[in-house]
Amino acid sequence: MELTQIESGEHEQVLRVQDADSGLIGIIAIHSTRLGPAAGGLRMRAYPDEAAALEDALRLSRGMTFKNAAAGLPLGGGKAVIIGDPARDKSPALLSVFGRAVEALGGRYWTAEDMGMTPQDMARIGTETRFVAGLADGAFASGDPSPVTARGIFNAIRTTARHRFGAPELAGMRVAVQGLGHVGLHLCELLHGAGAALTVADIHDAAVQEAQARFGARAVAPDQILTVEAEILAPCAIGAILNAASIPDLRVQAVAGGANNQLATAEDGARLHARGILYAPDFIANGGGIINVATEILRIADRPAWVAEKLEELDATMDRTLTRARQRDVSPNDVAEEIASERLRPDVA
Ligand code: NAD
């Protein structure tokens, strides 16, 4: 295995990992350890080339710094990527070598699951390193984070409703949910329990049928969900769905959901703001996921109490973000980045 430093601008350390025997080529990007060890998942994808993989690792690791800071966690931001098709190129040997690379960093970077990875893969990586989370078994294993993620998004939706409509109650509120995967279905359950009227879409019919049967949801085609008339849109599928093409056609008054990187560009935050659509910044709204993973990294003994406290803090951060955005008449996304940056300032204890 060869570990090579790559020159990087604002990142603390970026490494290229290569191993001829297993075919591993990957990047480990540590954006910041200002608040603690860098934490962020491992993504395996058939990137078109190494430059694309590097760009993804740099962008995602920076995002983790902000997400972890916004969630009030003593963790920095990092991310790793492996180039290859997970269905074809993933092997136990490749994962083991990646584990050795993580171990060589001595705890500066903690890895976990992201796209293309499973808890079993994490267990394999864990045969070579202590610095792995997202395990299915073990003393501090945190398991599937999506119920905690959904709880955090539900809180964010209530807080957004309070700011936009004057009260957090969701009874009778129309919520459009895009994506009924791990997060989306848990979220629908909570919204339904609170009396919201759901309109849903997914590219998988089985998930749609489940939402119809369990929550009385109205279903629309995937290409219709962004133009549904509702009070709130909750994106829980893919990124970049809020963009110059989609924003003019939205028929909601607020957007609060769990998908990562919902805004295609920073200007899209301003576009939503100009339309009077209140946007709950995604990296605060979906912080429950990393809070759950953090229990494993930080070896938290009383997980439920700790998670509950962190989710409350996260909600308070969302409230502060939306309050400041209203006072200054700016996009909440700008404020969210500002609040996370404040926590990262060297003079803040
Ligand atoms: P998932 O893969 O379980 O679910 C995604 C769902 O979206 C799938 O059912 C898929 O069929 C559907 N989908 C894909 N494209 C769609 C489209 N164009 N229209 C409608 N539906 C579509 O993923 P997940 O774990 O539920 O995560 C959802 C989002 O939340 C992702 O953006 C993820 O990065 C983010 N997120 C998840 C967690 C977590 O705890 N799982 C934490 C933080 C952020």
| pLDDT for the residue 349 | 60
**What Rg do the C-alpha atoms of the chain give, in angstroms?**
20
d(CA 125, CA 146): 22
Q: Which atom of ligand 1 is nearest to the CA of 148?
A: 40
- Degrees (nearest 5) of the Cα angle 253, 255, 257? 155
- Supply the CATH number for residue 187's domain: 3.40.50.720
Query: For residue 40, is pLDDT > 70?
Result: yes
| CB 258 near ligand 1, within 6 Å | yes
155, 282: one domain: yes
- The protein residue with its alpha carbon nearest to ligand 1, atom 20, reads 202
Question: Which tens digit of pLDDT belongs to each residue from 76-117?
Answer: 999 999 999 999 999 999 999 999 999 999 999 999 999 999
Question: Which tens digit of pLDDT belongs to each residue from 259-305?
Answer: 999 999 999 999 999 999 999 999 999 999 999 999 999 999 999 99
Query: For residue 214, is pLDDT > 80?
Result: yes
pTM flag (> 0.75): yes
- Degrees (nearest 5) of the Cα angle 285, 260, 120? 105
170, 107: one domain: no
- Give the mean pLDDT of 140-144: 91
Last residue of a domain, one of 125, 158, 189: 125
- Residue 301 domain flag: no
Pocket-testing residue among 183, 243, 293, 295, ligand 1, by greatest number of atoms within 8 A of Cβ:
183
Active site residues: 79
Pocket-testing residue among 115, 144, 182, ligand 1, by greatest number of atoms within 8 A of Cβ:
182
| CB 107 near ligand 1, within 6 Å | no
| CB 292 near ligand 1, within 6 Å | no
| pLDDT for the residue 143 | 87
d(CA 151, CA 137): 23
Q: Which atom of ligand 1 is nearest to the CA of 180?
A: 9
- Residue 68 domain flag: yes
Tell me how far the alpha carbon of residue 197 lies from the centroid of ligand 1, in angstroms: 21
Q: Sorting pLDDT into bands at 50, 70 and 90, what band is 161?
A: very high
Residue ranges making up the domain that contains 278: 146-287+315-343
Last residue of a domain, one of 94, 125, 156: 125
